[in-house]
Amino acid sequence: MTTPPSLPFDVLSCIYEFLHGEYKTLAASCLVNWQVNQAASSILYRDMVFNFGWPLEPDFAIHDFLPIPQESVLESASLPHNSERGSSLHTIQIRIPWGVGFVQDHLDRMINPHNLRKLAIVGIKKDNAIMLRLNSYDEKALPNLHELCLQTASYIRLVPLRLGIKAAFGRNLRVLSLGVFASKLSHDQELFLSLSQMPSLEDLCLIYHSWHWSNYTQTDVTPSRRLNPKPAFAPLYQLKSFTLRYSSACEPHEHIEKGVALFLSCALTSSPVERLSFRPFYQPRTINPIPKRSWDGLIDHLVDKHSGTLKFLDLGAVYVKKAAMKRVLERCSLLEEFFVGTCRSSIFLLPQYAAKLPRLHKVRFELRTLKGRGYGAFSTEDASVILNGVSPLRRLKVNDDEWEGSWTLTAIGELSYDTVLLARRPKDLWAPLQLR
């Protein structure tokens, strides 16, 4: 690329749009010569992603054969002329399977202290250096940082949970995604106390991984009798979205559910929560799942405190009994999207409460049962009853099958409601890794 530095701005914009997502191509095109880089850096360096041998598995699998990144790759992002002209740099994402020391050395030069809005660090293993560096920043160093994602394989419980999210650093945070590993209930309470010191937080995602469960004894995961049952959580008046993700290895440990339920009941009671999601990394369909009492109480709390604001509710990770389904459908009149794991008979409650769900347009069910026998097939006729009975609803998904309903005009001029089973979409194995 030998274009002179007088390249028109419109042409640079077209190049940026055309190469969007191809970070290696972007780096190669803008680092060919210094003059072009100087003219184009304000566009090409708006979003920076460093993906060093990151695997596609959502469970954060790390293998020893992955290549070690070269220091020169990060040096290209922190060149002096780039930092001077990189005023449009808004997003930095670092995905790396090792705690490489030179990453923290270049972190200060990569971060523009005046314009950085999103920082994501994913996959640092057993290295708290970057976490310590983040802890050294304050609201003056990163005044515009509104979104922070920290998902590492380090022992977060062995360092203060306020690393990178302490009160001074978190006053301006609006979006936080935090990977939380095996911990005691006391550590969960410390985490929730830290989160309650973020008054501007609007979107929170907590991710419990299955790492290092074997390193803990039963006393580590048993709630202590000395714990205060109701810590003094500061209300989060701005929080609108809360997501809890966990692996199947976390299910036997009830302290996670109790800690989350305590946090929701104490800190989120005054929050205008619109989106709530509880889902594991994988969604295995089980014939005989065991319900957890803590989730039943949590559903009652959601209905009592947040029925006037809830628009998106994902309860696919738990079994919801028919009585709890009735309470949700009767009270949560603003629901627009609903995903739940329940029994077959609960699905047919939808038409009964259709008048109270005027905005519901997307529903998904995972059929489950607490009895030994199977739950039976869900036919197109069954789907037609649901879709025809809930007027705003156009699509219904049960397990892996999805139906679409619509009114059509027959040859004799009469209206007829048709329900069609849609073809299953193949799963995209090469889809980019989702941080949430």
pLDDT one digit per residue (tens) for the chain, 436 residues: 444 444 555 565 566 566 655 545 555 555 554 555 555 555 555 666 666 554 433 333 333 333 444 444 455 454 444 455 445 567 777 776 554 555 555 666 665 556 778 888 776 555 556 666 666 666 666 778 888 887 765 544 434 444 445 544 667 889 988 876 545 545 566 677 777 778 889 999 887 765 433 333 333 333 333 334 455 667 788 999 998 887 655 555 566 666 666 777 777 888 899 999 887 665 556 555 555 555 677 788 888 889 999 999 998 777 788 899 999 999 999 999 999 888 888 999 999 999 999 999 889 998 876 665 556 678 899 999 999 888 888 889 998 889 998 888 777 878 888 888 888 776 544 444 454 5
Answer whether 126's CB lies under 8 Å from 99's CB: yes
- The pTM assigned to this predicted structure is 0.74
What does the block give as tokens for 271? 């929050």
Compute how many other C-beta atoms are within 10 angstroms of the C-beta atom of residue 322: 13
DSSP structural state of residue 353: G
109 backbone dihedrals φ, ψ, rounded to 5°:
-75, -25
DSSP conformation letters of 75-135? HTTS-HHHHHH-TT--EEEEE-SS--HHHHHHHHHHS-TTT--EEEEE---S--HHHHHHH
**CA separation for the pair 123, 154 (Å, rounded):** 9
Give the chain's radius of gyration (CA, Å).
25
The CA distances from residue 120 to 51, 54, 150, 226, 397, in Å, are 11, 14, 6, 36, 33
Compute how many other C-beta atoms are within 10 angstroms of the C-beta atom of residue 175: 18
DSSP structural state of residue 214: G
The CA distances from residue 309 to 271, 277, 332, 335, 378, in Å, are 9, 14, 8, 8, 31
What does the block give as tokens for 157? 């419980």
- Please name which of 304, 351, 352, 370 lies closest in space to residue 332, comparing C-alpha atoms: 304
- Cα dihedral sign, 125-130-132-137: negative
**CA separation for the pair 99, 32 (Å, rounded):** 30
The 3-state DSSP class for residue 168 equals helix
Output the pLDDT for position 310. Answer: 94
Compute how many other C-beta atoms are within 10 angstroms of the C-beta atom of residue 86: 21
Helix (H) or strand (E) holding 405, with range, is strand 401-409
